[in-house]
Amino acid sequence: MKSFVFVLMSALCAANSFADDVALGRAKADAACALCHGPNGVASMPSAPNLAGQQAIYLSEQLKNYRSGKRHHEVMTYIAKPLTDAEIAQLAAWYSAIKVSVETP
Protein backbone atom coordinates (compact mmCIF):
# COMPACT_ATOMS: atom_id res chain seq x y z
CA MET A 1 0.00 0.00 0.00
CA LYS A 2 2.86 2.38 0.81
CA SER A 3 4.36 1.89 -2.64
CA PHE A 4 1.00 2.66 -4.27
CA VAL A 5 0.71 5.91 -2.30
CA PHE A 6 4.28 6.82 -3.24
CA VAL A 7 3.59 6.18 -6.94
CA LEU A 8 0.36 8.17 -6.76
CA MET A 9 2.03 11.11 -5.03
CA SER A 10 4.91 11.03 -7.51
CA ALA A 11 2.48 11.11 -10.43
CA LEU A 12 0.59 14.04 -8.92
CA CYS A 13 3.81 15.97 -8.35
CA ALA A 14 4.94 15.27 -11.90
CA ALA A 15 1.59 16.44 -13.29
CA ASN A 16 1.80 19.66 -11.28
CA SER A 17 5.41 20.16 -12.39
CA PHE A 18 4.38 19.71 -16.03
CA ALA A 19 1.57 22.26 -15.58
CA ASP A 20 4.08 24.71 -14.11
CA ASP A 21 6.45 24.05 -17.00
CA VAL A 22 3.67 24.71 -19.52
CA ALA A 23 2.70 28.02 -17.88
CA LEU A 24 6.31 29.17 -17.59
CA GLY A 25 7.03 28.00 -21.12
CA ARG A 26 4.08 29.93 -22.49
CA ALA A 27 5.28 33.10 -20.77
CA LYS A 28 8.79 32.60 -22.15
CA ALA A 29 7.43 31.84 -25.64
CA ASP A 30 5.25 34.95 -25.61
CA ALA A 31 8.34 37.03 -24.88
CA ALA A 32 10.89 35.36 -27.15
CA CYS A 33 9.27 33.08 -29.74
CA ALA A 34 5.84 34.39 -30.74
CA LEU A 35 7.10 36.93 -33.24
CA CYS A 36 8.28 34.21 -35.63
CA HIS A 37 6.53 31.05 -34.40
CA GLY A 38 3.16 32.69 -33.63
CA PRO A 39 1.44 33.12 -30.26
CA ASN A 40 0.08 29.57 -30.36
CA GLY A 41 2.95 27.85 -32.11
CA VAL A 42 1.59 28.33 -35.63
CA ALA A 43 4.26 30.27 -37.49
CA SER A 44 3.50 33.78 -38.63
CA MET A 45 6.49 33.82 -40.99
CA PRO A 46 6.76 31.46 -43.96
CA SER A 47 10.37 30.61 -43.15
CA ALA A 48 9.65 29.66 -39.51
CA PRO A 49 8.36 26.19 -38.60
CA ASN A 50 5.17 25.52 -36.69
CA LEU A 51 6.00 24.36 -33.16
CA ALA A 52 2.51 23.57 -31.87
CA GLY A 53 2.06 19.89 -31.15
CA GLN A 54 5.72 18.94 -31.69
CA GLN A 55 7.12 16.31 -29.36
CA ALA A 56 8.82 17.81 -26.28
CA ILE A 57 11.92 15.65 -26.69
CA TYR A 58 12.39 16.85 -30.28
CA LEU A 59 11.98 20.51 -29.32
CA SER A 60 14.35 20.15 -26.38
CA GLU A 61 17.04 18.49 -28.46
CA GLN A 62 16.83 21.07 -31.22
CA LEU A 63 17.03 24.00 -28.79
CA LYS A 64 20.03 22.37 -27.11
CA ASN A 65 21.63 21.86 -30.53
CA TYR A 66 21.14 25.55 -31.37
CA ARG A 67 22.51 26.50 -27.96
CA SER A 68 25.64 24.37 -28.36
CA GLY A 69 26.26 25.38 -31.96
CA LYS A 70 25.66 21.85 -33.25
CA ARG A 71 22.77 23.24 -35.26
CA HIS A 72 23.09 26.66 -36.90
CA HIS A 73 20.56 29.35 -37.70
CA GLU A 74 21.28 33.06 -37.63
CA VAL A 75 18.41 33.92 -35.27
CA MET A 76 17.85 30.67 -33.35
CA THR A 77 21.50 30.30 -32.36
CA TYR A 78 21.35 33.77 -30.81
CA ILE A 79 18.01 33.11 -29.05
CA ALA A 80 18.92 29.66 -27.72
CA LYS A 81 22.40 30.55 -26.45
CA PRO A 82 21.29 31.97 -23.05
CA LEU A 83 18.52 29.39 -22.40
CA THR A 84 18.94 27.14 -19.37
CA ASP A 85 17.96 23.47 -19.43
CA ALA A 86 14.92 24.38 -17.31
CA GLU A 87 13.82 27.07 -19.77
CA ILE A 88 14.24 24.67 -22.68
CA ALA A 89 12.10 22.09 -20.85
CA GLN A 90 9.45 24.73 -20.18
CA LEU A 91 9.33 25.85 -23.80
CA ALA A 92 9.16 22.24 -24.98
CA ALA A 93 6.36 21.53 -22.48
CA TRP A 94 4.36 24.53 -23.74
CA TYR A 95 4.64 23.78 -27.43
CA SER A 96 4.04 20.04 -27.00
CA ALA A 97 0.93 20.74 -24.89
CA ILE A 98 -0.76 22.68 -27.69
CA LYS A 99 -3.38 20.51 -29.34
CA VAL A 100 -3.40 20.60 -33.11
CA SER A 101 -6.43 19.65 -35.16
CA VAL A 102 -6.80 19.35 -38.88
CA GLU A 103 -9.97 20.15 -40.74
CA THR A 104 -10.59 18.36 -43.98
CA PRO A 105 -12.44 20.11 -46.80
Domain ranges for the chain, please list them.
2-97
Write down the pLDDT at residue 16. 45
- Say yes or no to pLDDT of 99 above 90: yes
CB 17 within 8 A of CB 65: no
Which superfamily is assigned to 2-97 in CATH?
A: Cytochrome c-like domain (1.10.760.10)
pTM for the predicted model, two decimal places: 0.79
Q: How many Cβ atoms sit within 10 Å of the Cβ of residue 21? A: 21
**Rounded average pLDDT over 60-76:** 97
